[in-house]
Amino acid sequence: MKIGILGGGQLGQMMAWAAHPLGIQTTVLDPAANPCAAPLCNHIRGEFDDLQALYALSQVSDAITYEFENVPIETARWLAERVPVYPPPWALEVSQDRIVEKTFFQSLHIPTPPFAAVDTRADFDAAIQRIGLPAVMKTRRFGYDGKGQAVIRTPAEAEAAWTLLNGRPLILEGFVPFVRELSSLAVRSQTGELKIYNLVENEHRDGMLHKSVAPAQNIAKELQNQAETYAHRVLDALNYVGVLAIEWFDVGGKLIANEMAPRVHNSGHLTIEGNVTSQFENHMRAVAGLPLGSTDLLGHSVMFNLIGDHPPFADILKMPRAKLHWYGKDPRPRRKIGHVTFLVNTLAEREAIVREWNDIGV
Q: Does 207 bind ligand AMP (CB under 6 A)?
A: yes
Quote the least distance from Cβ 135 to ligand AMP, whole Å: 8
Cβ distance to ligand AMP smaller for residue 113 or 262: 113
Distances from the Cα of 216 to the Cα of 183, 223, 227, angstroms: 9, 11, 12
Q: In the bound complex, what is the minimum distance in angstroms from residue 134's beta carbon to ligand AMP?
A: 8
Site membership for ligand AMP, residue 97 (CB under 6 A) = no
**C-alpha 210, offset from chain centre:** 13
Q: 142: phi > 0 → left, psi -120 to 50 → alpha, else beta; which?
A: left
3-state SS of 265-289 is CHHHCCHHHHECCCHHHHHHHHHHC
Q: Applying CB under 6 A, which of residues 36, 136, 223, 353 lies at the interface with ligand AMP?
A: 136
- The Cα 77–Cα 84 span in angstroms is 10
Q: Does 250 bind ligand AMP (CB under 6 A)?
A: no
Choosing from 55, 175, 326, 327, the residue that interacts with ligand AMP (CB under 6 A) is: 175
Site for ligand AMP in 187-206 (CB under 6 A): 204
258 scored as a contact of ligand AMP (CB under 6 A): yes
Neighbouring residues of 77: CB distance < 8 A, sequence distance ≥ 6: 89
Q: What residues pair up with 255 in beta bridges, in sequence order?
A: 250
Query: Minimum distance between the CB of residue 206 and ligand AMP, rounded to whole angstroms?
Result: 10
Rounded to the nearest whole angstrom, what is the least distance from the CB of residue 117 to ligand AMP in the complex? 15
Q: Does 101 bind ligand AMP (CB under 6 A)?
A: no
User: What are the strands, taking DSSP E only, across the chain?
Assistant: 2-6, 25-30, 42-45, 63-66, 115-118, 135-139, 149-152, 170-174, 180-188, 194-196, 200-205, 208-214, 242-250, 255-261, 300-307, 323-326, 336-344
Q: Residue 181 interacts with ligand AMP (CB under 6 A)?
A: yes
**CB 207 to ligand AMP: min, Å:** 5
How wide is the angle at C-alpha 109 spanned by C-alphas 92 and 143, nearest 5°? 35
The CA radius of gyration of the chain, in Å to the nearest whole number, is: 20
Q: Please state whether 299 falls in left (phi above 0), alpha (psi between -120 and 50) or beta.
A: left
143 binding ligand AMP? (CB under 6 A): yes
Which of 35, 89, 113, 242 touches ligand AMP by CB under 6 A?
113
Inter-residue contact 5 to 15 (CB < 8 Å)? yes
Q: Segment contacting ligand AMP (CB under 6 A): 21-29, 168-176, 230-238, 320-328?
A: 168-176
Work out how close the CB of 125 gets to ligand AMP at its nearest, in angstroms, rounded to a whole number.
19
Nearer to ligand AMP, 113 or 242 (CB): 113
Using CB under 6 A, which of the segments 25-33, 74-82, 175-183, 354-362 binds ligand AMP?
175-183
Taking the least distance from each CB to ligand AMP, the nearer of 167 and 207 is 207
**Chain positions contacting ligand AMP, by CB under 6 A:** 113, 136, 143, 146, 173, 175-176, 181, 204, 207, 247, 258-259
